[in-house]
Chains A and B, each alone.
Chain A
């Protein structure tokens, strides 16, 4: 057997330079830590005799513990075995609860979870055995043959298993699946099967018991390594130590490595003659190839590992971002749904409110109409009888009666004015005034207005000047325009005790008429100007008694001006007089 290992050793030697180069990638951490004798290494142990197991005395035993014990004694490590099942051990390794796990086959998936030592510690593979004289030597010889296999084994069903292998070469053969490797050998021995598949370890131990011979068909090699936690600071140091010793152990045929292989796997290094030369080369070739592959993959592995890590981070970042986005989208969708529902509810509410408002509006109109009617009916007899009594129709009056009835008449007129103003404002605010548009001459209207106040003007001894263009035609609501003129002139007369009242009308650019009513009356204080056109803001409350205004006149005037598409403004010097300017379009714009 030594011959095989020698050949393996040569291949190993040729790969050594390459491996040494690879080792430069491994961070040399040991220099400082190695000096510390007290270092304790926690090693996972599970039951897999003879590779690794707990013996009758409760000590760690088997091939792997032999190697571990040797390296630990050389490095001065204290080994603490942590017992568990295979799965538990791997879990602990992942969680950094143990520092090292032996007997781990390298796979792509595992390389993401653990770091691996670079030196193969032990390699297992599968083999095809046959009886002497069947003539089966290579894979192609299996054509048409019946092969006994272990049911469910990786070497049957796995990605590199026998079934995949034969189908890759288009070989048709039958498989007899049994429950143990012993049964596989039985079937081959008694002729029920032409060949049988077992693990190399079983085959080596039992080939002589069944009088079977090896074929050249060797497949599914699985190199076994030490595995380490990926994030442990101890890992680079342990990997370096173990790899260094493994290289040495494998080079020395008298080392504990070969002793242990012989002891636990029955590999008898002295029995050269049993093994045909082709097998030596086949194995050596396989081993060398594997080493080269392992070496080459080391380079890639570290790159792949770091790139994988980067990618994994990128992927997880990407995933996080996507999840966040999805959450935002969900939230948005929920918000939109809620808002839509709210809006729908609001729309219904608004529709209800609208119906309610229409009803309220109708009731308001009814109320206004009946208020108007109910207030006017009694006023009719008050004003009527007062009038006819003052005319002497009901008989002569003495002076006192005459004076008192005059007061009744005046008060009743004032009350009527108030009622009219309130109703007008209500109607305007409710949008219920319909303009009745017609053409009329502005000078005719002004003459009417002046006529109305002529008696009062002459009684007060005022001068009244009018400057109104002749025959100027306005197209608007005659009654409302007159109402504005009346209010403005009435105010001027009311608040002027001496001097002049001037009414001037002129046409402005842009088809507008400007009416200016100025007086030399009491004027308006600066601070009162802003609330001049507000309701019940007759500026000087003390004037109220003297000047019997409703407090609604200018407010209504402004409302009317707006209604007519015009504008009204005022200028005043307190104590000097006031000027009110009313502008109105010459032709009222009729809405389409």
Chain B
């Protein structure tokens, strides 16, 4: 499938980081959807059915883990790969993310040299 047709939803409340991820993905030829809050991300995920979701965990309304659980309960959200992209790097954070329904887990700060390779494993 052509990369151009692949949609990646970024749910991220920090402008700088949202811009960074979006910039990298667009430079690599992906279509980017963006949400700055959990509920908004949840709606986009179920309506737009993106090919991949990059999910920040700390969000202003509902947290990322809650958002993942809700996406997974929606009919349209069960198959979408969701990668937690988070600054939570304490013991157990990875496990918590996977338990909530995430497909993968990438710690911030990202490594720009390897980031795309990690993402593309889930596409």
CA distance A385 to B24 in the complex (A): 9
Knowing A387-B111, A387-B112, A391-B112, say if A381 contacts B87 (CB, 8 Å).
no
CA distance A386 to B23 in the complex (A): 13
**Contact of A380 with B24 in the complex, beta carbons under 8 Å:** no
Knowing A368-B90, A373-B88, A427-B91, say if A387 contacts B17 (CB, 8 Å).
no
**Contact of A383 with B90 in the complex, beta carbons under 8 Å:** no
Interface residues of B in 76-98 (CB under 8 A from A): 87-92
Knowing A387-B113, A416-B109, say if A380 contacts B89 (CB, 8 Å).
no
Chain B residue numbers with a CB within 8 Å of A384 are 17, 20-21, 24, 109-110, 112, 115
Chain A residue numbers with a CB within 8 Å of B14 are 377, 381
User: Beta-carbon contacts of B20-54 to A below 8 Å, as 1s and 0s?
Assistant: 11011001000000000000000000000000000
Chain A residue numbers with a CB within 8 Å of B88 are 369, 372-373
Q: How large is the interface on B (under 10, 10 to 19, 20 to 34, 35 or more residues)?
A: 20 to 34
**Contact of B110 with A393 in the complex, beta carbons under 8 Å:** no
A427 smallest CB distance to B (angstroms): 7
Is B6 part of the contact surface with A, judged by Cβ < 8 Å?
no
Knowing A385-B20, A393-B27, say if A380 contacts B91 (CB, 8 Å).
no
**Contact of B91 with A432 in the complex, beta carbons under 8 Å:** yes
Is A6 part of the contact surface with B, judged by Cβ < 8 Å?
no
Set B21, B91, B115: member contacting A433, Cβ < 8 A: B91
Chain A residue numbers with a CB within 8 Å of B27 are 388, 393
Question: Which of B14, B91, B109 lies at the interface centre, i.e. has the most chain A CB atoms within 10 A of its CB?
Answer: B109
Is A376 part of the contact surface with B, judged by Cβ < 8 Å?
yes
CA distance A412 to B108 in the complex (A): 13
Chain A residue numbers with a CB within 8 Å of B58 are 373
Is A434 part of the contact surface with B, judged by Cβ < 8 Å?
yes
**Contact of B113 with A380 in the complex, beta carbons under 8 Å:** no
Set A377, A382, A387, A394: member contacting B87, Cβ < 8 A: A377
**Contact of A381 with B20 in the complex, beta carbons under 8 Å:** yes
Chain A residue numbers with a CB within 8 Å of B92 are 434
Chain A residue numbers with a CB within 8 Å of B115 are 384
Chain A residue numbers with a CB within 8 Å of B24 are 384, 388, 393
Q: Which residue of B lies closest to A373 (CB)?
A: B87
**Contact of A377 with B90 in the complex, beta carbons under 8 Å:** no
Chain A residue numbers with a CB within 8 Å of B107 are 376
CA distance A226 to B96 in the complex (A): 111
**Contact of A434 with B17 in the complex, beta carbons under 8 Å:** no
**Contact of A380 with B20 in the complex, beta carbons under 8 Å:** yes
Is B5 part of the contact surface with A, judged by Cβ < 8 Å?
no
**Contact of B20 with A372 in the complex, beta carbons under 8 Å:** no
Question: Which of B23, B89, B107, B112 lies at the interface centre, i.e. has the most chain A CB atoms within 10 A of its CB?
Answer: B112
Is B1 part of the contact surface with A, judged by Cβ < 8 Å?
no
**Contact of B23 with A380 in the complex, beta carbons under 8 Å:** no
CA distance A210 to B17 in the complex (A): 143
Is A379 part of the contact surface with B, judged by Cβ < 8 Å?
yes
CA distance A369 to B58 in the complex (A): 12
A-B contacts, 8 of them at CB < 8 A, read A373-B87, A373-B89, A378-B16, A380-B110, A384-B17, A388-B27, A390-B112, A393-B24
Chain B interfacial positions (CB closer than 8 Å to A): 14, 16-17, 19-21, 23-24, 27, 58, 87-92, 107-113, 115
Chain A interfacial positions (CB closer than 8 Å to B): 368-369, 372-388, 390-391, 393-394, 412, 416, 423, 427, 432-434
Given contacts A380-B17, A423-B89, list 5 more A-B pairs with CB under 8 A: A372-B88, A381-B14, A381-B17, A388-B20, A432-B91
Please give me the 7 A-B residue pairs with the lowest Cβ-Cβ distance, nearest first. A387-B112, A376-B87, A380-B109, A381-B16, A380-B108, A384-B20, A383-B109
